[in-house]
Amino acid sequence: EADAGPLPEYVEFKDADALIIHSNNTIETKRDVFGVQPITSEHQLYVRNNVTPPDESIVADRDAWEVSIEGVANPGSVTVGDLKRMGVETVAMVLQCSGNGRAFFEHETSGTQWQTGAAGCVLWTGVPLRTVVENMGGVADGAQFVTGTGGEEIPEGPNAADVMVERSVPLDVLDSILLAWDMNGEPISLAHGGPLRMIVPGFTGVNNVKYIKRVAMTEVETDALIQSQRYRLVPLGESGSPEFPSVWQMEVKSWITGPLEDAASGMHQITGLAFGGINAIDSVEVSLDDGETWEDAQFVAPDLGRYAWRPFVLAKDLAPGSYRIVSRATDSEGNQQPEATEPNQSGYNHNGWRAPGVDVTIS
């Protein structure tokens, strides 16, 4: 584990004690920090940037930020100020990096060895993209994807597509997408994509493009490297290419948040978090013997909607001994976390229940 601090300047406002700093642009929330919190504070939320974020000056006059809307009958630019007059909605959503849990795969993976903390559940407020598109005459004929472009300054030239953050998601999720300006009721910080971010509920982190400057309904997926070769479920030993599935929808997942350390015998509340990803969460079980026997856990916070996570508890009177505590969630479609996740080259979409288990000795 990396030491706390110093935090890079653009995330200086964060709580260093709550975070594992892997690098300047990969910062994870410590496992014990989550507890049973239904919403993750911005001070504790993980950060991941693929390229250097834009200058702080882009959040100086937020309402003036422009986003170009293309692939509609009447394309054009709109400002955040314009968007705020079109409509507003709020969604509670798990924001989770595609690589969260990479450290739990058995094969060697390059990339940040995230454990459980490249995830958080936050509230996004913004206008539904559907409303914006209807205001501009509707989706252009033939469109099949929503393609969002990040606002980083990318030097033009033949290599631009190798570094730019541009992601395409299927057009059939258009109705759930937001163009958001607030996170947890505050203007989105630069670190998390202010002044405007494209939010695709139920899709992994990378699809939620920060400082969005262009949204296009496109016939094909972008050829940016981050879409065409990276963030794909590539079989071991192969290299990234558009023939392999894109990392899009998140799957059902849960993990234990406590106890994480040895403790004295007696009454304990086993705690954790569970979410369904693209589907709602239905239920979660806990095992104290590495999956031999399971008991139903109980949700302890209101249901904040299909895309949110739900904290759970299981009260146990623990006698002295060794325990391996694991959790296994089921979504509203009956999908259950697998024991282990099928390996993929870059270690994306980990949701196996066994590997994130916690060893605790009770004395």
# residues contacting ligand MSS (CB under 6 A): 23
Nearer to ligand MSS, 167 or 306 (CB): 167
Answer whether 150's CB lies under 8 Å from 211's CB.
yes
Q: DSSP secondary structure string, 89-154?
A: EEEEEEEE-TTTTGGGSSS---S----S-SEEEEEEEEEEHHHHHHHTTSBPTT--EEEEEE----
249 binds ligand MSS (CB under 6 A): no
Q: Contacts with ligand MSS in 7-66 (CB under 6 A)? A: 45-51
List the one residue from 179, 209, 217, 326 that touches ligand MSS (CB under 6 A): 209
256 binds ligand MSS (CB under 6 A): no
Answer whether 185's CB lies under 8 Å from 124's CB.
no
Nearer to ligand MSS, 53 or 311 (CB): 53
Tokens for 280, please give them: 């709602």
Nearer to ligand MSS, 50 or 144 (CB): 50
Give me the residues paired with residue 124 across strands: 91, 183
Nearer to ligand MSS, 53 or 128 (CB): 53
Q: How far is the CB of 347 from ligand MSS (least distance, A)?
A: 11
Count CA atoms closer than 13 A to 3's CA, side-chain side.
2
- Tell me the three state secondary structure of residue 289: strand
Contacts of 85 (CB under 8 A, 6+ apart): none
Write out the H or E segment, with its range, that includes residue 162: helix 160-163
Nearer to ligand MSS, 275 or 323 (CB): 275
DSSP code of residue 249: B
Q: CA geometry: angle at 316 spanning 311 and 322, to 5°?
A: 105
Nearer to ligand MSS, 150 or 356 (CB): 150
- Tell me the three state secondary structure of residue 341: coil
Q: Contacts with ligand MSS in 102-161 (CB under 6 A)? A: 150, 152
Answer whether 213's CB lies under 8 Å from 151's CB.
yes
List the one residue from 206, 252, 273, 313 that touches ligand MSS (CB under 6 A): 206
Q: How far is the CB of 150 from ligand MSS (least distance, A)?
A: 2
Q: How far is the CB of 231 from ligand MSS (least distance, A)?
A: 7
| φ/ψ of residue 263, rounded to 5 | -150, 175
Tokens for 329, please give them: 């969630």
Nearer to ligand MSS, 191 or 270 (CB): 191
210 binds ligand MSS (CB under 6 A): yes
165 binds ligand MSS (CB under 6 A): yes
Cα 28 to its chain centre, rounded Å, is: 12
Nearer to ligand MSS, 193 or 258 (CB): 193
347 binds ligand MSS (CB under 6 A): no
Nearer to ligand MSS, 7 or 51 (CB): 51
Which listed range, 2-10, 126-134, 198-206, 216-224, lies at the site for ligand MSS (CB under 6 A)?
198-206
101 binds ligand MSS (CB under 6 A): no
Q: What is the largest CA-CA distance in the chain?
A: 69
List the one residue from 128, 205, 276, 347 that touches ligand MSS (CB under 6 A): 205
Q: How far is the CB of 197 from ligand MSS (least distance, A)?
A: 8
CA distances to 8, 170, 296 from 181, in Å: 23, 23, 38
List the one residue from 211, 248, 307, 312 that touches ligand MSS (CB under 6 A): 211
- Matching residue, tokens 């949110």: 308
Nearer to ligand MSS, 206 or 280 (CB): 206
- Tell me the three state secondary structure of residue 206: helix
Q: How far is the CB of 138 from ligand MSS (least distance, A)?
A: 27
Give me the residues paired with residue 275 across strands: 253
201 binds ligand MSS (CB under 6 A): no
Binding site for ligand MSS (CB under 6 A): 45-51, 95, 97-99, 150, 152, 165, 192-193, 204-206, 208-211
